[in-house]
Structure formats: structure tokens, C-alpha cells
């Protein structure tokens, strides 16, 4: 639940202020609990404004996802680069699933991980971000579109409410990824979206999503799998009027999409 990374809320200013205040309070409350179970990042340590960390017993949360019939039947999956999903990326590659993974901040776009091109003994390394650089290949939005719709999308989160409202780090990266993918037709309102978090990151409060928030369908934690009864439709496409020139300049796939839609010179 975020409007940062160049996004601006379309709500009434008073409503926007109330939502953002609640967002900030919830995020700070969760982060204070998360530090007790989070595994420090090698670069950002426990700076949760910059990294969605791995956490204690994340393997149990991943096991819930791997047991889902939807996952067992899936062949083509989008997975965010969050630390808590490294083992999942490894297990999916091991199972022969093709992955699209975003780079940190989407600053260098997306990479394709094709399990047929990765030696079996290297799938764990390929699931790490360093391995993504070594075994993955850059893939454009046009090439992602040519491969067809994602079977599943999986993301980490700073926090997520039981009614499916997801909080990221506060930069809006997943919102942008969703916007680009719905624009090119590889994700729709019915695409299953799963969030992976520790139990301390689950918010019991009922939250109102912003116009760009992506409501998840399931929440996997070490102790449970929560199925969300979605009460809101997800947004479609990119709201270009909400993006700053700086945000577009920092995100190559946004520039590619602008050119494809005739919004930039070819």
C-alpha cells in the first residue's frame, strides 16, 4: 500500500492524508516486530525501507505455496526479487518452472530464468540475486508479452492485511510491475497473486486500498495459508499522470512501454 516512487494519490487530500498516516503507522508497527525475526541483508542489514528481508522459518511458508495445486500446474511464474523468496525461486527452478524476476528497483528491468539453461546443481545459486545475473538473461516487456500470461505472481511484502491489502517498502515497485504486466496482457484481475510474509507481518485491521494497490489472493506464512476474499478489483495499466519524469527515467521498461504506446519517440 504505497504511493511513492513518483506515484501520487488521486483521493481527496483529507482522505489521502488519513490513509497515508495509517499506512505509515501500520508499517512502523510491523517493522518494529519484524526486526526480531528478520534475517539481515548483506547490503541493507535491517533497513526495511530498502529491502524486504528473509525471515526465520520462511521455508515453511514456501512449502505452503509449493503444495498448492495452482503452483504444481504452473509453468510460467513471476517472482519478485525479495530475499524471502530466494528459496522459492530455487525450488521452482528445480521443479522446471520458467521464471521472470524483476531487478532491484526495476532499474535494469526484468530477467528470464529458464530452468533448461541452468545446470541442476546451480538452481539454488540461480535463485539468488547474484545468480540471477549469472544464469538469467534480460527480457524486454515485448518478449514477456510474447510468452503469454503468467500462471502465478508471487511477491514479498513489508506487511499484508488479512483482506489482501499489501504494503511494500514504500516505493511502489510491485504496483508498477502490475501496471506494466496488465497493460501488455500477461496479468489480469484473475491472475493469482500470493504474498509471502512472516506471521508478524500479517495485519488484522481492515484496510482501504489506494487506487493503485494490488490486492493479493493468498498470504503464505510459516504457520498458515490465508485465502483472501477479495472485495476490490485490481487496477489495470499504468497511470502515467501519476508518474514523475524521474521515475520513468529510472525505469527502462516504463520507457519501453511509452515508446510502444506512442508516448515517446521511437
The 10s digit of each residue's pLDDT in 70-84 is 999 999 999 999 999
Output the pTM of the full model: 0.88
Decide: residue 163, CB within 10 A, 0-12 exposed, 13-18 middle, 19+ buried: buried
Q: What total number of domains does the chain contain?
A: 1
Q: Per residue in 148-158, pLDDT tens?
A: 999 999 999 98
Q: How confident is the model at residue 56 (pLDDT cuts 50, 70, 90)?
A: very high
CA angle in degrees (0–180, nearest 5) for 102-108-114: 50
CATH of residue 238: 3.40.50.10420
21-38, pLDDT tens digit by residue? 667 777 788 888 999 999
Greater model confidence, 177 or 168: 177
Band of the pLDDT at 205, cuts 50, 70, 90? confident
Phi, psi of 100 (to 5 degrees): -110, 130
Q: Inform me whether the pLDDT recorded for 19 exceeds 60.
A: no
Q: Using the predicted structure, report yes or no on whether residue 171 has a pLDDT greater than 80.
A: no
Cell numbers 500477461 label which residue?
A: 186
Residue 3's domain comprises 1-266
94-135 pLDDT tens trace? 999 999 999 999 999 999 999 999 999 999 999 998 999 899
Amino acid at each position: 500500500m504505497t504511493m511513492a516512487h513518483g506515484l501520487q494519490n488521486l483521493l481527496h487530500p483529507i482522505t489521502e492524508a488519513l490513509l497515508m498516516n495509517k499506512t505509515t503507522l501500520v508499517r512502523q508497527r510491523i517493522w518494529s516486530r519484524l526486526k526480531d525475526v528478520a534475517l539481515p541483508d548483506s547490503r541493507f542489514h535491517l533497513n526495511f525501507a530498502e529491502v524486504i528481508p528473509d525471515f526465520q522459518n520462511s521455508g515453511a511458508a514456501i512449502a505452503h505455496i509449493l503444495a498448492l495445486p495452482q503452483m504444481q500446474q504452473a509453468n510460467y511464474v513471476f517472482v519478485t526479487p525479495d530475499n524471502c523468496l530466494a528459496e522459492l525461486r530455487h525450488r521452482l527452478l528445480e521443479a522446471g518452472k520458467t521464471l521472470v524476476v524483476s531487478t532491484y528497483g526495476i532499474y535494469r528491468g526484468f530477467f528470464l530464468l529458464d530452468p533448461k539453461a541452468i545446470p541442476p546443481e546451480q538452481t539454488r545459486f540461480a535463485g539468488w540475486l547474484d545468480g540471477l545475473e549469472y544464469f538469467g538473461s534480460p527480457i524486454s516487456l515485448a518478449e514477456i508479452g510474447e510468452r503469454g500470461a503468467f500462471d502465478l505472481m508471487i511477491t514479498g511484502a513489508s506487511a499484508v492485511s488479512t483482506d489482501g491489502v499489501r504494503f511494500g517498502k514504500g516505493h511502489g515497485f510491485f504496483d508498477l510491475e502490475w501496471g506494466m504486466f496488465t497493460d501488455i496482457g500477461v496479468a489480469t484481475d484473475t491472475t493469482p497473486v500470493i504474498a509471502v510474509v512472516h506471521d508478524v507481518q500479517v495485519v488484522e485491521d481492515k484496510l482501504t486500498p489506494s487506487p493503485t494497490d494490488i490486492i493479493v489472493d493468498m498470504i503464505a506464512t510459516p504457520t498458515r495459508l490465508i485465502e483472501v476474499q477479495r472485495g476490490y478489483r485490481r487496477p489495470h495499466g499504468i497511470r502515467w499522470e501519476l508518474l514523475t519524469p524521474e521515475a520513468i527515467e529510472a525505469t527502462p521498461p516504463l520507457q519501453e512501454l511509452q515508446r510502444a504506446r506512442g508516448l515517446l519517440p521511437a
